[in-house]
Amino acid sequence: MADNYQIQMRNAQKFFLTYDQEKLIQKFGLHADEAYLYLTMFHTRYRIHRKTGSFQRHQTTWQDANTFGEVMTALDILCDSKDNRFLTGRWVSTQHFGKHIHTGLLEPEYDALADTFDKAPGAFGKACRALGGHPITGGDEAWAVEVMDGLEIGIHFWHADEEFPAQLRFYWDENAPMYLKYETMHYTLGYLRSLLKNGI
């Protein structure tokens, strides 16, 4: 039996199929052919099958990419972002958005990924560069990586010291809700963390 995440993902894919795909192509300047829409997310090429909503990512060859974080992030931006969306260039924490804080969006006091970066000099920058990131100010080291459509996530990293463990903090443009829903930020950050871990 499919779990709730799989059901939610499949429902999002079905919802995508109800959209006027030509309007999505124009809205985002997507390349398309008869079978697929093509986009770039986290510095990786994707294609979405126009009749099924199935996802593939390109890593030497096209591979299955029907994971919850990938599908929900891309389809939320494609299908639900505002036509008048724009970025301000001002970073805010996830807690800035809304009154109802999703506990999964709050960074833990101990972060195993941050600890791994702390013990591997240069690994944080290497992982961010692999995602097409560029340095920004903040923390002991900070990078911004693009999700898609110009929307970036700022990642701040602090090394451990005598009082605190190593920390990672994630920041969004204050207009991020014009691009994706508040709840989707949790899924997007989860997928980003997996990409950073794989880049070590």
- Beta-carbon contacts of 14 under 8 Å, excluding residues fewer than 6 positions away, are 53
Q: Indicate the pairing of strand 44-49 with strand 36-41.
A: antiparallel
The DSSP annotation for the chain comes to ---HHHHHHHHHHHHHHTS-HHHHHHHHT-EE-SSEEEEEETTEEEEEETTT--EEEEESEEEE---HHHHHHHHHHHHHS-TT----S-EEEGGGS-SS--GGGSPPSS-HHHHHHHHSTTHHHHHHHHTT-EE-SSSSEEEEEEEETTEEEEEEEE---SSS--EEEEEEETTGGGTS-HHHHHHHHHHHHHHHHHT-
pTM confidence score = 0.91
For the chain, give the percent of residues with pLDDT over 90: 84
* 33 vs 22: CA distance, rounded Å: 11
pLDDT in tens, 7-63: 999 999 999 999 999 999 999 999 999 999 999 999 999 999 999 999 999 999 999
* 177 vs 11: CA distance, rounded Å: 21
pLDDT of residue 94: 80
